[in-house]
Amino acid sequence: MKQITAIIEKNSDGGFSAYCTDEMFSGMGDTAEAAKEDLKQSIRHFVESSREDGYQYPEWLDGEYEIVYKFDTQSLLQYYAGIITPAALGRLSGINPKQLWSYAHGKSKPREAQVKRIEEALHRLGSELSSLSL
């Protein structure tokens, strides 16, 4: 199955965009979910239009494919700000909450090592939450 990667970013107007890194597809919306859905719709529209007009398009679009979504750090922190505060993420990752706030608001950009710490902390939290039972 073909995998394509799409980046989700929060725009300066508060909306979101989702764009493929290796393909020509993109989508926009008021939320990350809306941008993802718009991206899927743009792919469907491209295939339908290409078929109707007799244009060639990549064969993999007729089969099964998976879109792997990735957030940039700032957009991820802003998107989940109502759920995971800088203080909570700081406790999980060992990164100063003020620094996390700076990342979320675009005042500074995290180094790759910091991005990895944030990602690992969120994965640990997700793993713990998925193993819970009530």
pLDDT in tens, 8-61: 998 889 899 999 999 999 999 999 999 999 999 999 999 999 999 999 999 999
For 106, residues 6+ apart whose C-beta sits below 8 A from its C-beta are 74
- How far is 44 from 47, CA to CA, in rounded Å? 5
CATH code at 2-71: 3.30.160
DSSP state of 61: G
Q: Where are the domains of the chain?
A: 2-71, 73-130
Write out pLDDT tens, residues 110-123: 999 999 999 999 99
Where does 1-134 have alpha helices with state H?
32-53, 73-79, 86-93, 97-104, 112-130
List, for residues 74-104, the tens digit of each pLDDT value.
Answer: 989 988 888 999 999 999 999 999 999 999 9
Neighbours of 20 (CB within 10 A): 18
| 35 neighbors 48 (Cβ within 8 angstroms) | no
Question: What pTM does this model have?
Answer: 0.77
State residue 93's pLDDT score.
96
How far is the C-alpha of 28 from the C-alpha of 5, rounded, in Å?
16
